[in-house]
Chains A and B, each alone.
Chain A
Amino acid sequence: MEKDLYLSQHISQRFNVELEEIRNRVMRMGGLVEKQISRGMKALQTSDSELGELVTSSDYEINALEVDIDEECMQILARRQPAASDLRLIVTIIKTITDLERIGDEAEKLGRYSVLLADENTTPGHFVEIGHLGEHVKRMLNDALDAFARLDIEAALRTIADDELVNEEFDAISRQLITRMMEDPREIRNALRISWCARALERMGDHTKNICEYVVFLVQGKDIRHTSLEKMQESTGIDFGD
């Protein structure tokens, strides 16, 4: 039986406000993380070390939000003793912000490596493939945050499926970088740095996938972590296609 998640229909108006506030904060944190990825990717692609520095020095904002939201969640657990969908919302938020914070850390790495790479005068052509991967991951995160905001499990499941493409792209980039390193050993240092960046993006994809899994838990109460796409399709009863 399908149920609605009325997040604003509590008898306690104050509780409605608290939940709304905390959800807005998660969205704000997500927005910050998206911005960090965008800036990190731009710094990388345009060899803009100043922007790279800014990305590195801005990560604290995300960390601070994580701490704040965690504190809010703990207050709600202690004072409201939420149950059912409210409980799942709080648990989902606690987990989601952990993954968002990790994505922030990965974005920070983009900033750090972009500074190193900018100093070395790398040819911009190196960044075409990783630019594509970056766009893909950003889109994934955007979809995941949308799915969270709209409680849209179909979108969440599609985004989970998307992570496999991200992994494939990462593998392709790795192969290209290996070829480049074999062709010209002088490129090894930079190629490795680019590889770390690709790795960071791939990890962001994994964290984003986690967030989507929490959305399914929030809406349906089903824990689909560590299962195959087929199993997810089966247990949620949603056919999300290719």
Chain B
Amino acid sequence: MNKATDFEHMEHEIVGTVGTPLVDKPKMSTRNVDVYYGDKQAIFDVNLDLAENEVIALIGPSGCGKSTYLRCLNRMNDTIDICRVTGRLMLDDEDIYNKSMDPVLLRARVGMVFQKPNPFPKSIYDNVAYGPKLHGLASNRAELDEIVVTSLQKAGLFEEVKDRLDAPGTGLSGGQQQRLCIARTIAVSPEVILMDEPASALDPIATAVIEELIDELRANFTIAIVTHSMQQAARVSQRTAYFHLGKLVEVGETNQIFTNPSHQLTENYITGRFG
């Protein structure tokens, strides 16, 4: 059998999810999640929990649905007309796809950091202050200053920019811009932070800084990170979820996934084999 091209066969090997997709007292829980782009189904029956204060890494080949799944968690897929999400997605006890749930408020609670740093064409200060202002989190300038400073500190950027908060955010280096985006995300006190390949456009030093930051942020937030870098997943996460052709194949302790995964497809992917 030619393993390299036998994708049809491979797909049928996935029966349910191997490992530990569910946890006690999850911060977010998702059940029977299906996602469709028009007629095409992109995600098949995913059941996965995000535990409080954990970093969970979502890995898998391009097009496996990991980013699509991530974007379901704060309803970013709402912005795509043909995209349809079914299943039950809960943040604590609230159904995030319930009609009463305001997506804008949801995205303040479940923030997102993207692959390419995307600061607003505004000053460093305004980039961070934008969210708190929008959501009315500060009643006066002093409180806003406080939020901006603490957010920049938490994102590990404050020392580098404290003398030029009025300078444009776009003038920072790539790594700094990404940390600015993280500061902007945490300024609105989210509960969950979603990261879609946050370090893939950064050099190794900037990447190490971001990874260190992720580890620190874990104390206060629940983090789900999509990454193509296996080493990064191994370094930053406590649990790892492997997606393949829209299905969740295996979830387990990161230590176990990278030394002794249970599913052949996971093994093939992380060791760079055909399949």
Residues of A within 8 A of B (CB): 1, 3-4, 6, 9-12, 15, 81-88, 220-221
Q: Tell me whether A3 and B263 are in contact (CB under 8 A).
A: yes
Q: Tell me whether B262 and A9 are in contact (CB under 8 A).
A: no
How far, in angstroms, from A4 to B259 measured CA to CA in the complex? Answer: 15
Q: Tell me whether A4 and B264 are in contact (CB under 8 A).
A: yes
Q: Tell me whether A3 and B267 are in contact (CB under 8 A).
A: yes
Query: Which 10 residue pairs spanning A and B have beta carbons closest together?
Result: A221-B260, A9-B273, A83-B270, A3-B264, A86-B271, A83-B258, A84-B271, A84-B267, A9-B274, A1-B262
**Inter-chain contacts of A83 with B (CB < 8 A):** 230, 234, 258-259, 270-271
Known: A4-B264, A83-B234, A85-B267. A15 touches B259 (CB 8 A): no
**Inter-chain contacts of B267 with A (CB < 8 A):** 3, 84-85
Asked if B40 is an interface residue, CB under 8 A from chain A, the answer is no
CB closest residue in chain B, given A15: B272
**Inter-chain contacts of B263 with A (CB < 8 A):** 1, 3
**Inter-chain contacts of B268 with A (CB < 8 A):** 6, 9
Asked if B138 is an interface residue, CB under 8 A from chain A, the answer is no
Known: A9-B273, A10-B272, A11-B274. A81 touches B259 (CB 8 A): no
Q: A11-B272, A12-B272 are in contact. List 12 more A-B contacts (CB 8 A).
A: A3-B262, A6-B3, A6-B268, A9-B275, A10-B272, A10-B273, A83-B258, A84-B271, A86-B271, A87-B259, A88-B259, A221-B260
Asked if B231 is an interface residue, CB under 8 A from chain A, the answer is yes
**Inter-chain contacts of A3 with B (CB < 8 A):** 261-264, 267
How far, in angstroms, from A84 to B273 measured CA to CA in the complex? Answer: 11
| B134, chain A: closest CB distance, angstroms | 42
**Inter-chain contacts of B231 with A (CB < 8 A):** 81
CB closest residue in chain A, given B274: A9
How far, in angstroms, from A218 to B212 measured CA to CA in the complex? Answer: 32
| B206, chain A: closest CB distance, angstroms | 19
| B183, chain A: closest CB distance, angstroms | 31
| A79, chain B: closest CB distance, angstroms | 13
**Inter-chain contacts of B266 with A (CB < 8 A):** 84
| B2, chain A: closest CB distance, angstroms | 11
B:106-152 near A, CB below 8 Å = none
Asked if B90 is an interface residue, CB under 8 A from chain A, the answer is no
| B213, chain A: closest CB distance, angstroms | 22
| A52, chain B: closest CB distance, angstroms | 44
| B48, chain A: closest CB distance, angstroms | 19
Q: Tell me whether B259 and A10 are in contact (CB under 8 A).
A: no
CB closest residue in chain A, given B266: A84
A-B contact pairs, 9 of them (CB 8 A): A3-B262, A3-B263, A11-B273, A12-B272, A82-B271, A85-B267, A85-B271, A87-B259, A88-B260
How far, in angstroms, from A83 to B230 measured CA to CA in the complex? Answer: 9
How far, in angstroms, from A15 to B274 measured CA to CA in the complex? Answer: 13
Asked if B76 is an interface residue, CB under 8 A from chain A, the answer is no
**Inter-chain contacts of B264 with A (CB < 8 A):** 1, 3-4
How far, in angstroms, from A202 to B147 measured CA to CA in the complex? Answer: 70
Contact among A1, A9, A15 with B3 in the assembled complex (CB-CB below 8 Å): A9
Q: Tell me whether A87 and B273 are in contact (CB under 8 A).
A: no
How far, in angstroms, from A21 to B234 measured CA to CA in the complex? Answer: 28
Asked if B18 is an interface residue, CB under 8 A from chain A, the answer is yes
How far, in angstroms, from A96 to B183 measured CA to CA in the complex? Answer: 49
| A235, chain B: closest CB distance, angstroms | 13
How far, in angstroms, from A11 to B61 measured CA to CA in the complex? Answer: 13
CB closest residue in chain A, given B256: A221
Contact among B18, B234, B259 with A1 in the assembled complex (CB-CB below 8 Å): B18
| B115, chain A: closest CB distance, angstroms | 22
Known: A1-B18, A85-B267. A6 touches B259 (CB 8 A): no
| A150, chain B: closest CB distance, angstroms | 19
Interface string of B223-250 (1 = CB under 8 A from A): 0000000110010000000000000000
How far, in angstroms, from A10 to B273 measured CA to CA in the complex? Answer: 4
CB closest residue in chain B, given A217: B260
How far, in angstroms, from A6 to B3 measured CA to CA in the complex? Answer: 11
How far, in angstroms, from A88 to B264 measured CA to CA in the complex? Answer: 15
How far, in angstroms, from A81 to B151 measured CA to CA in the complex? Answer: 35
| A7, chain B: closest CB distance, angstroms | 10
| B257, chain A: closest CB distance, angstroms | 8
Q: Tell me whether A84 and B272 are in contact (CB under 8 A).
A: no
